[in-house]
Structures are given as C-alpha cells and as structure tokens.
Amino acid sequence: MKRTLLGAVAATLVAGTAWADAEYDLTLQLKWVTQAQFAGYYVAKDKGFYEEEGLNVTIKPGGPDIAPTQVLAGGGADVVVEWMPAALAAREKGLPLVNIAQPFKSSGMMLTCLKESGISDPQTDFAGKTLGVWFAGNEYPFLSWMSTLGLSTEGGPDGVTVLKQGFNVDPLLQKQAACISTMTYNEYWQIIDAGIPAEELVTFKYSDQDVATLEDGLYTLDSTLEDPDKVTALVRFVRASMKGWKYAEENPEEAAEIVLENDETGAQTIEHQTRMMSEVAKLTEGSDGTLDEADYQRTVDILMAGGSDPVISAAPEGAFSHVITDRAFD
C-alpha cells in the first residue's frame, strides 16, 4: 500500500486537507470467485465510489486453491473477505487477524437434503447418514453444529459420515450424500437448476438451528491497524464498500451486470447472478458495516461449544476492532 500526495503544494497543507488529497493503493482478496456474493465491492469500483475516496482498489478473485488468510499473511492483500470461524481459528493458531467490518449481517449457510433420505429433523435423523461438507475453513460451523447435536463425525450408526465436498452439488445429484452444504444464494439454486424440484428437498438453515456464525467479514492484520496511513485507507475503503453494497441492494439487476463484466472466466450467467444478488441482499440488509458484538459473541459461543474438540479453545482477545467503522461513519 502506498500513499502519494497530489502535488508539492499539498505537502505543505494542514493534515486534514492533506489526507483529503491523498491517494492510496489497496488490494482486496475475495473468498471465492467473481460472483454477486461480492457485488458491493465490484459496484463500488465500477460506480467510482473508491475513486471518490482517493483509492485505487485492486480486487483479486478467490478460488478453491486460494486461502484468503494465507494471502493476507503473505502480504498479497491489505484486506480479505473471510468467514469468522476460519478467521478466529487462524487467529488462535497464531495469525493475528482482526475483523474491521461486517457487511454480511445474516448467514446464508444451510444443509440441503433429499427428502427421500428420510431426514426431517436434525435432532433425530442425521445419525448414520453421509453429509457433504466444505473444508478449507468452511467446515467449522458444521463441526460445531454436529458437536451440539452430540454426533461424532467419524461415521457409524451413532454418528455422521463426512464427505469432503467439492464446490459443486454433484454428491447430492449422484446420491452420494443424503445432504450437502449449500448457500441460500448459490448452490441451492444449482440443485434446482439441475432438475430436482424444491418439493423433493429439505433444507436446514444454520440460522434456524441456532448455529449460524458470521460470514463474509472484512479482515486485516493487527499490525495494519498500527499504521496511520493504512488505517486511513481502510476507513475510506469500508465507507465506499458499504456505499457499493447499498447500491447493489437497491439495484440488483445492474449489480449483477457489473459482476458479469468483471468475470474473466465467462462462466457466470446474468440470470444466476441476478438471482444471487437478490438473495445476497437479504444477508447484507440491516448492516452498515459495523460488527454487532452480540453477533460476534454468538459466533464465539458456537465455536467453543465443541465439548472435548471445540473449533476454538478459548475466547479470543482483540479479534475485532471498531476503529475503522467508527471513523468511516462518524
């Protein structure tokens, strides 16, 4: 990240004016590939919201072989989009991640099951079944959920067999698993589009099971918050990003088109991205970017409720900061 004052005269101005005339380069690493899940950032860049804040933002798509926390640790990004369970687990292992903003207020994660599997109640019907689970940090909410149900993830009649799920819905379509991990805005609709009607499915939202954890927050390193220039850049970034999110919520079709324009793979369709944006808007609704400490504490409690094998073993310290959002929206 660099700071360049515009013109020699600006260097002689008072600090407040100098900050207003400063330009910052900032790199954002996404959690996954270019799609409407990240529409707010693409909209902020496309509509000039970052430019208005004096920012030159580079948005790096993610993918199955990209771990945002590792990119951040290696200096490949200034800020990343990550789920809080993965961030807190990484912090406990020694990577000093800190949540600086929380655009997603609600969770979109759920298990989607074939009705023919006979599953209608997680309390009684998961035992003995095979369940598809994402890994690379996405498994933590699931593991916490199984722990609260008292179910082993080692298989057997009194536990569940975990199928390491790729980022597709094939295990359900091929009936390799009774249930698979899905997001309300993405994989669930892939199942529908593949020809399985909603009436043949049963869904269990993590939020309805009281095991929902925070998703798609913005994270940086502790050391970044010790650098005044970087803090100023992040303040501007969060403010512009939330402006982008609000625009995307109000203009889902335009937001989907902007996402499509930034998809270099050509794999996305306008129909899927528009639908995704409409569903994602339900998750960002009500958020101004400020982390709700009650939501944070709920996530921590769920991750620690793992009996002898919790996702995190102790309550984190310093895992979030309101410094950025306080300044962004003061």
Task: Provide the residue ranges of all domains of the chain, joining segments of one domain with +.
Answer: 3-106+214-328, 109-205
> What is the CATH T-level fold of the domain 109-205, as seen in this structure?
D-Maltodextrin-Binding Protein; domain 2 (3.40.190)
Q: Which CATH architecture has domain 3-106+214-328?
A: 3-Layer(aba) Sandwich (3.40)
Strands 109-114 and 179-183: antiparallel
> Counting Cβ atoms within 10 Å, is residue 118 exposed (0-12), middle (13-18) or buried (19+)?
exposed
Dist. CA 207–CA 190, nearest whole Å: 21
Distances (CA, A) of 323 to 68, 123, 141, 224: 22, 41, 27, 12
The interaxial angle of helices 252-261 and 228-250, nearest 10 deg, is 120
Does the pLDDT at position 137 exceed 80?
no
163-181 average pLDDT score:
95
Shared fold status for 3-106+214-328 and 109-205: yes
Specify the pLDDT at position 21: 53
**Could you tell me the pTM of the whole model?**
0.90
pLDDT confidence band for 13 (50 / 70 / 90): very low
> Counting Cβ atoms within 10 Å, is residue 21 exposed (0-12), middle (13-18) or buried (19+)?
middle
190-199 average pLDDT score:
96
Q: What is the pLDDT of residues 46-98, one digit of tens each?
A: 999 999 999 999 999 999 889 999 999 999 999 999 999 999 999 999 999 99
